[in-house]
Structure 1
Amino acid sequence: MASQEPQPFHWRYPELDDRDLQIRGRTLFSIVVLVAFILLITLLFIYARWVCRLRLLLSASSDLPHAPPSQPQPQPPQGLHPSTINSFPIILHNSSTMKTVDDSECCICLGIFQNEDKVKVLPKCHHCYHSDCVDRWLTAHSSCPLCRSSLRADSPV
């Protein structure tokens, strides 16, 4: 009995053995394209989620105080040196010498010049202001309040 040859495997249920099920040509190509498309869309979705999470983490870490700034912060405008401000000429206002409307009003405080007011004349543009008004302005800015021409010594006229 040991010399008995093994029997080949046969289905016990012949109704499950469908020899007519064959995938060829266009059907096979369509299935492969559909599976590849679904795989591609899935990979793109996973990549998009990864990029969004990375951006969220980077923006959250930039809000921390120890994180370096992404762009250099602009320096606040600096005014003129006090010695430069004091070098500008001061005149006493006289309504008979000031002929134009521009020369009769301080554009900083909008006050009208009275006789004997101390008026400072800016050298490059010759605009006039109350001495106290323009001194405060020039400690924070380096330009004329009216025409914005630079009053720095190294700037062109």
Structure 2
Amino acid sequence: MESHEPEFHWRYIDFEDRDFQVSGRTFLFAVVLFAVLLVITFLFLYSRCRYRHLHAAYTSSPHVTHAPPSQPRGLDPSTIKSFSIVLHTTSSEKKTADESECCICLGVFGDGEKVKVLPNCRHCFHSECVDKWLSSQASCPLCRSSLRVDSPV
């Protein structure tokens, strides 16, 4: 049995224009779909604008209380500079890792190296390391004890 399949010739002249025409029903569907999308877009933009307007009116009303400005998180540079700097010495006593290395950069203190000592907890750190830390945090990096000095009221 022979099958008679039509041969395809891919030439531009074989295509008919009526295959690419949009009929009335398809055109009406496309217009309705476009109109629905347009209405949804306008409703979204209107609700967004309305929300912003109401939110701005609510936050500017006098009965809304705002939180007081928070204290800066770190210490001021003069306080950081006031901490003592000492020379690290290795003694014959057995020292723990906390006492022989900077817990910020994990560098080991060399004999005669300058280290900064925090006042409350007496923990030692490289000066550059702890200065960066204290400019953003007001506590010891190791034990988290507060280094803020409360002013007498």
The alignment's TM-score, normalised by the length of structure 1, stands at 0.51
Distance 2:141 2:84 in 1: 17
Distance 1:122 1:66 in 2: 49
Query: How far did residue 101 of structure 1 move?
Result: 2.0
| Partner deviation per Cα, 1:52-100 (whole Å, 9 max, x = no partner) | xxxx779942897897499759848521121111111111111227722
Distance 2:117 2:109 in 1: 13
Give the secondary structure class of the aligned counterpart of 1:119: strand
Matched letter for residue 110 of structure 2: Q
| Unpaired runs of at least 5, structure 1 | 1-55
Q: Tell me whether 1:96 sits opposite 2:91 in the alignment.
A: yes
| Partner deviation per Cα, 1:3-46 (whole Å, 9 max, x = no partner) | xxxxxxxxxxxxxxxxxxxxxxxxxxxxxxxxxxxxxxxxxxxx
Give the 3 Å change call, closer, same or farther, for CA 103–74 of structure 1 in structure 2: same
Q: State which structure, 1 or 2, has the greater radius of gyration over its C-alpha atoms.
A: 1
Give the 3 Å change call, closer, same or farther, for CA 64–89 of structure 1 in structure 2: same
Q: Give the count of matched residue pairs.
A: 100
Query: How far did residue 105 of structure 1 move?
Result: 1.0
Distance 1:63 1:105 in 2: 56
- Percent identity between the two aligned chains: 54
Distance 1:144 1:122 in 2: 7
Give the secondary structure class of the aligned counterpart of 2:134: helix
Q: Tell me whether 1:113 sits opposite 2:109 in the alignment.
A: yes
Give the 3 Å change call, closer, same or farther, for CA 129–57 of structure 1 in structure 2: same
Q: Structure 2 matches for 1:61-100, cutoff 5 A?
A: 61=52, 68=59, 72=67, 75=70, 77-96=72-91, 99-100=95-96
Give the 3 Å change call, closer, same or farther, for CA 120–61 of structure 1 in structure 2: same
After TM superposition, the runs of 4+ consecutive aligned structure 1 residues lying more than 3 A away are 56-60, 62-77
The alignment's TM-score, normalised by the length of structure 2, stands at 0.52
| Partner deviation per Cα, 1:96-150 (whole Å, 9 max, x = no partner) | 2772221011111111111222111101011110011111111111111111111
